[in-house]
């Protein structure tokens, strides 16, 4: 009598586990966007493509004339990595500190966003994933545009 009851309990446990699996599989993880971007390799590729795009935009590149591009690259990678749920921690200056006295207009900000989108397209990032990252970056807008 005990053995059939154990089998029954094991079967019930297995059925409960199987019922929960689909829900568990569809739950997004905190690092889901990080992985959608391709992890560190993908974020690095996006960043390198972003720097490339900036270099060919005469209006935007002028804001980078006195920028240490290696530091910009490192900090942008950190920022995107952290925002997307990756293992990085942004260690750079605040967006206000970085952009003070740069006098970035709304049009220049929007153009820079377009350059980031072009970089993500060049990197093969799906549009829904791009939108997720842009939504996380959007709150920095008031800290960047010259008022």
Residue 48 included in any domain: yes
Residue 70 included in any domain: yes
Residue 11 included in any domain: no
Query: What pTM does this model have?
Result: 0.79
Residue 20 included in any domain: no
Residue 73 included in any domain: yes
Residue 127 included in any domain: yes
Domain count, the chain: 1
Q: Alpha-carbon distance 132 to 142, whole Å? A: 19
Q: In terms of DSSP H, where are the helices of the chain?
A: 2-26, 32-36, 39-55, 58-61, 69-83, 95-99, 106-122, 127-137, 141-144
- Identify the sign of the CA torsion 97, 102, 106, 110: negative
Q: pLDDT for 62-116, tens place per residue?
A: 999 999 999 999 999 999 999 999 999 999 999 999 999 899 999 999 999 999 9
Task: Domain of residue 137: give its range.
Answer: 28-144
Residue 113 included in any domain: yes
Task: Decide if pLDDT at 1 tops 60.
Answer: no
Assign residue 138 the CATH number of its domain.
1.10.490.10
Residue 139 included in any domain: yes
């Amino acid at each position: 009598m005990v053995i059939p009851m154990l089998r029954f309990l094991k079967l019930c446990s297995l059925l409960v586990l199987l019922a929960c699996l689909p829900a568990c599989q569809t739950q997004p993880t905190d690092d889901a966007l990080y992985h959608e971007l391709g992890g560190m390799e993908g974020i690095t590729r996006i960043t390198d493509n972003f720097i490339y795009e900036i270099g060919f935009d005469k209006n935007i590149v002028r804001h980078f004339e006195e920028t240490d591009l290696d530091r910009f690259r490192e900090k942008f990678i950190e920022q995107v990595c952290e925002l997307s749920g990756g293992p990085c921690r942004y260690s750079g200056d605040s967006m206000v500190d970085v952009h003070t006295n740069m006098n970035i207009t709304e049009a220049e900000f929007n153009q820079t966003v377009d350059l980031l989108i072009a970089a993500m397209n060049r990197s093969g990032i799906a549009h829904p994933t791009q939108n997720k990252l842009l939504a996380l970056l959007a709150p920095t807008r008031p800290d960047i545009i010259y008022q």
